[in-house]
Amino acid sequence: MKNYVRSLVGLTLIVLILLTACGVKTPSNPGVVPNSLQTIEADAEDIIDIAPSGNWDKIGTDVTDIENAWKSYQPQASNDGASQEIQNAMTSALTQLEIASTAKDSADTMQASNNISAAVIELFALYHPIIPADIGRLDVLERQVILDIAANDYSAAMTNLANTKSDWEKVKPSVLEHNGQEVAAEFEASLTKQESALDSKDEAALTSEAKNALEIVDALEELY
């Protein structure tokens, strides 16, 4: 199951590239992210945070909440511009989360949850939220780097760190426009440190710096 769950990462990234290249409909209520999607995002992150501790009762509750929120959102998904590809990616990731959490497999549960986060941030993007979706993508990608290293997959970590740098270049102008010069410098310094740790295959240093980058992403969000 591990290889199958991890293969969804590559699939999700391909979907994201396709979505970036294609136009989408304007949602019925632009600027307002539906509560159902906010629930999915919050619970997916919560699962990633608590899975290492093995709190499976709480994880089970979060999984149920995500399932219900997705069922609630699906009827409006296509009307608001969600492609079938991203809907399929969400459904597939949710299925894997159900399987992994039932098996009490922490690594696969965290991976499936991050796959859900990758899909839900693309749905957020449809509504042009105040915090740019690219900042949400940074969150997903930095978490993925941590998961890649935990799985001893340096090739995937290299790809996802490169994707992080590319996404950062897209959102950097907006960050600077919001008086984020200091935070931007911190994030770029973190990227440099992550590249160095990756080149030397220093697992501990890379994991630590990716976690620091996640804290910086929180600071980026506070600019908006």
Give the pLDDT confidence of 55-107 residue by residue, as tens digits. Answer: 999 999 999 999 999 999 999 999 999 999 999 999 999 999 999 999 999 99
Measuring CA to CA, which residue among 173, 74, 181 is closest to residue 120? 74
- Same domain as 118, residue 142: no
Integer CA distances (angstroms), 130 to 31, 32, 124, 203, in order: 7, 9, 10, 35
In this prediction, residue 17 carries a pLDDT of: 42
- Split at pLDDT 50, 70, 90, the class of 5 is low
Domain that holds residue 60: 1-16+33-129
Q: What is the percent of the chain where pLDDT is above 70? A: 87
- Same domain as 168, residue 115: no
> Any idea what the CATH number is for the domain that residue 90 is in?
1.20.120.660
In this prediction, residue 184 carries a pLDDT of: 98
- Same domain as 162, residue 88: no
In this prediction, residue 100 carries a pLDDT of: 98
Last residue of a domain, one of 129, 154, 180: 129
> Any idea what the CATH number is for the domain that residue 200 is in?
1.20.120
Label residue 22 left, alpha or beta by phi (over 0 means left) and psi (-120 to 50 means alpha).
beta
- Same domain as 4, residue 79: yes
Last residue of a domain, one of 129, 153, 176: 129
Instruction: State in Å, rounded, how far the first CA of the chain is from the last one.
Output: 39
Q: Report whether pLDDT(171) > 70.
A: yes
